[in-house]
Structure 1
């Protein structure tokens, strides 16, 4: 039997297996090396997977700088023991993340609302679903998702884990319009998945548990540590010290960001803490956007998840409803616009219960914005292991 005939026979057997309505296992078509022509025909993947396990985070991510506020990310990683990041698992997750076949009319993917160029968020106030319908809230950035200690997801934290969350947009009638059964069927129909699933899990069985685990591995691999802030942080012993590579304005903004309100700063670091700039004290919070939150009560009483500020300059518009177009508007909200909601977070209250007014000068507000822009890490958008693998 010549090699061409042998290959065509294997391909035919695989396609027949994929088209059986009740089939739950796809015939394996590759070995664990991933070197397979069916993959290379559709996908731009290396023969050996990219390194997703070793994030390459600097040493200061794992060392508390002292001074009361935690800077270390130790203890806030929400990765479950049952689903550690693997190189092959995250590779499968990357393909699933960008695959438009996994929406009901095959027009959008996870990346349609979580674009790496926009900090894995979306420039639209509300994202477009498969038929042009609008999502209920603004798309949240996925950067540093692994460092949200509470481990819950969505603005209202309705998903108990990332593994739960990644399957929900597929099933949303506006976003992707799928069912769990249809998700698995679509994966079986694409011949490039069999070798990827084998590499990740040891055989070709397709189920939504494996799909969720692979997607969660990919999302947790997306971390940021290559910003102007990081270049400066590597040169000092603690984040409060002036950074040699910062302008005077950026250093002023950093001090205002970190120093508590009672000491003359804005206290932003109290909610966006650690080197991941994400809430280390878990739980949704009411940040005084409105007096009445009946239109969207979030997780209850107008409270919403606090996510990372890494790459915040790329993720406009801001807040759960995308109401603020610019960082300047965000700063002004915390400076003078916090509303006296009954559930307003304690960090935003004066001793008398009224909202804090920072009363920052125009120059101080500009310096805060300048500092937040130093958190932009352009490599998040350009690192090939997080980009679209489809040719």
Structure 2
């Protein structure tokens, strides 16, 4: 099922433009779940195993395709009985590095999971996604001949527990680092100065970078980097980005973490600012997959932002219907922003065999 020589999941090569000491503060790994090769190898098998669903039809990978940056190309993901979820499945790159500015954001679009380990168990128990009870799953996996040795290698004994399962999959997810893109190589060559023109970029890519990082103008003198901060191009905060005048999905407002109280008006329509690493691969876009292309996304931020009462300050004044919002971009600026975002693609993550489906290799040898 797995290579004879264990894969290396623990080594991370950071590009030169990232300060390793400073970046270490972004790491959400814990002393209670240290990344190991054996743990991540177990996590890989669990991630791809359809046995984790009630009727053995879907795995975590069913909604997180390696070729698509571990995202789902369908607007709404499909569960074990064919039912559709209410949101698009996000890409999984760099989930290890979410503690930006020493903040500890939640996971999922509405940040309802406080830790990566907690996130792992939620889809498994969801009535639409995988439909399993944890105790039932533990007994099911314990009976499969390949799991006790894997759990013993990772945790010292062969017992299958949901806590160990969550830790192993979380280790596998934390090993998915995407920091080897054209942007990184160009930033290294520029000595880590994001504001200077990159020699390895085209004029169009440099214009897009300048607009993205240094500022766009229009309603707000802020760049896209206000919500998508380099080098992970993510943000430990939820925003309302004006998708609707009245929220169809309440997002963070429907579940006010950590108190889990009922609807909170001030959080209505707020969603996690997802990472833009590998964004060219992870269409469709937004929490509901409403935009098919990056061009549509940029057009939304240019002229399609609705003046929702909770609209983030980066997108315009909160003046109700008829207010001027968005960045009012030219055609040249829109194309440049798309070109820049395409420089954030890490081809290694989407092709590395150690992140691929181990069951495909097993079937091929039968």
Please indicate, yes or no, whether the TM-score normalized by the shorter chain is above 0.5: yes
Match of 1:134 in 2: 84
Displacement over 6 Å in runs of 4+: none
Task: Report if the CA contact (8 A) 1:154-1:165 is conserved.
Answer: yes
Q: How does 1:313-352 map to 2 (within 5 A)?
A: 313-350=280-317
* Aligned counterpart, 1:157: 111
SS of the aligned residue for 1:380 comes to coil
Alignment partner, residue 201 of structure 2: 246
Q: Are the structure 2 counterparts of residues 218 and 199 from structure 1 closer, same or farther at C-alpha, using a change threshold of 3 Å?
A: same
Task: Give 1:73 shift.
Answer: 3.1
Give, in angstroms, the shift of residue 48 of structure 1. 3.4
| Change in 2 beyond 3 A, CA 1:320/1:355 | farther
1:19 maps to what in 2?
Answer: none
Residue by residue over 1:309-357, the C-alpha shift from the partner in whole angstroms, topping out at 9 and shown as x without a partner, is 0000111000000011110010011111111111111222249795543
Aligned match of 1:297: 250
Give, in whole Å, the separation in 2 of the partners of 1:240 and 1:233: 10
Gaps of 5+ in 2: 254-267
Q: In 1, distance between residues paired with 2:207 and 2:86?
A: 37
The residue number in structure 2 matching 1:172 is: 126
Aligned to 2:343: 374
Counterpart residue number, 1:271: 227
Contact 1:285 1:306 in 2 (8 A): yes
CA distance in 2, matches of 1:177, 1:183: 10
Partners of 1:157 and 1:253 lie apart in 2 by 29
CA, structure 1 residues 361+63, in 2 after alignment: closer, same or farther (shift >3 Å)? farther
Q: TM-score w.r.t. structure 2 length? A: 0.88
* Cα RMSD, aligned residues only: 1.9
Counterparts in 2 of 1:134 and 1:58: CA distance versus 1, 3 Å: same
Measured in 1, the distance between the counterparts of 2:173 and 2:135 equals 23
Aligned residue in 1 for 2:171: 217
Question: 1:61 and 1:316 mapped to 2: Cα distance?
Answer: 27
1:194 aligns with 2:127: no
Distance 1:84 1:166 in 2: 16
Structure 2 CA distance for partners of 1:84 and 1:101, relative to 1, 3 Å: same
The structure 1 residue matched to 2:330, chosen from 361, 381, 390, is 361
Greater C-alpha Rg: 1
**Cα distance change, pair 333–145 in 1 and its aligned pair in 2 (3 A):** same
Count of aligned pairs: 338
Partner of 1:259: 214
Which whole-Å CA distance do the structure 1 matches of 2:34 and 2:240 have between them?
Answer: 32
Is 1:51 equivalent to 2:8 in the alignment? yes
1:262-299: CA deviations, max 9, x gaps?
599761011111211111xx221111111101x31000
> Offset at 1:177?
1.2
Partners of 1:224 and 1:95 in 2: how far apart?
21
| 1:12 alignment counterpart | none
Q: Which residue of 2 aligns with 1:31?
A: none
- For the 8 Å contact 1:90–1:215, the answer to whether it is kept is yes
- The alignment's TM-score, normalised by the length of structure 1, stands at 0.82
C-alpha contact (below 8 Å) 1:256/1:265 kept by paired residues: no
> Are the counterparts in 1 of residues 280 and 345 from structure 2 also a CA contact under 8 Å?
yes
Unaligned runs of 5+ residues in structure 1 are 1-42, 65-71
